[in-house]
Structures are given as C-alpha cells and as structure tokens.
Amino acid sequence: MSDVLSPEARARNMRAIRARDTGPELLIRKALHRKGFRYRLHVRELPGTPDIVFPKFRAAVFVHGCFWHQHHCSLFKLPSTRPDFWREKIARNALRDRDAREKLLADGWRIATVWECALKGRFRQGVENVADTLAFWLGDADEAAIEIAEIWID
C-alpha cells in the first residue's frame, strides 16, 4: 500500500512530531506539580535525557510514546509502508532506551517509565491515577524501576 500523503506532506507531518513537551508529558508534569513535586526537565547530563528528573529522590521519569519506543500494546502498530525501515528505526530507539536505563540504574538512579497507553486508549489508567502511582513510587525507596502501562487482559 502506498502512502496516502505526498512526500512533502509526509515530511511536514514528521517534522511536527516533538521529542519533548509532548501532550502525555505535559499532563504528567502538571499533575505532579499539583501534588507539590518539583522537578527538572530534560537533564542532558543524564543518560537518555529523562523527561522529568527528581534530584531530591534521585529518580528519573521517562514518558514514552508507544509507537516510537516499541511498546507492545494496542497503540503500537508497525506501518505497512516501508516496514523494514520502521522496524529498524524503532528497534534502535528501544535499544537506546534499554542502554540509558541500564546506565541510570548502574549510577544509582531510580527509573519510572510512563507509557502513552496509560493515559489514552482502551485501558487507560487516567492522569491522576498515574500521578498517584508516581507519587507513591517517589516516596518508596525500595523500588528501583517501575513501568506504568495499560492493564493487560488476556
């Protein structure tokens, strides 16, 4: 199946996709701020440039889009056009995420990953529930890494 958009229109769409200050990220940041948490954004000195960093808790939060970071949920669907290109690109993203996660854990950071599907889709948990989970996690030093994603129903 060929692309329904012209190459110029597709390029314009792809350029509009942001790496930071995405909708899900803004929702999480605002909810955590309302709960009284203060944080730093996109700390480049840390591996993977986490979206939200809590230096006080030595904790980093990544807010990942399910498509771009290869989350196996209902929101991830490999495009039918140029599947080899997309498979390779998304696999590189996932590998880069895994490397950053390992480096942060080795340096003593705690990591939370909030997946896009936790905020939208059939099994969304809702922004306040996700923020409550993060707030609880920030206060509990025993958990090194968590993932917040959709509830799987098999």
CATH of the domain at 75: 3.40.960.10
The parent domain of residue 115 ranges over 20-148
Residue 145 DSSP SS3:
strand
Q: What's the pLDDT at 83?
A: 87
Q: What's the pLDDT at 82?
A: 84
Query: How would you write the pLDDT of the chain (154 residues) with one tens digit per residue?
Result: 566 767 777 667 666 666 677 888 999 999 999 999 999 999 999 999 999 999 999 999 999 988 888 888 877 788 888 889 889 999 999 999 999 999 999 999 999 999 988 888 787 888 999 999 999 888 875 666 666 653 332 2
> Is the residue at 42 inside a domain?
yes
Q: What's the pLDDT at 16?
A: 61
Q: What's the pLDDT at 147?
A: 66
Q: What's the pLDDT at 70?
A: 84
> Is the residue at 4 inside a domain?
no
How many domains, in total, are found in the chain?
A: 1
**Cβ(10)–Cβ(3) below 8 Å:** yes
CA dihedral 22, 153, 144, 43 (to 10 degrees): -10
pTM of the model: 0.81
**Cβ(46)–Cβ(60) below 8 Å:** yes
Angle CA(93)–CA(64)–CA(147) in degrees, nearest 5? Answer: 105
Distance CA 23, CA 18 (A): 10
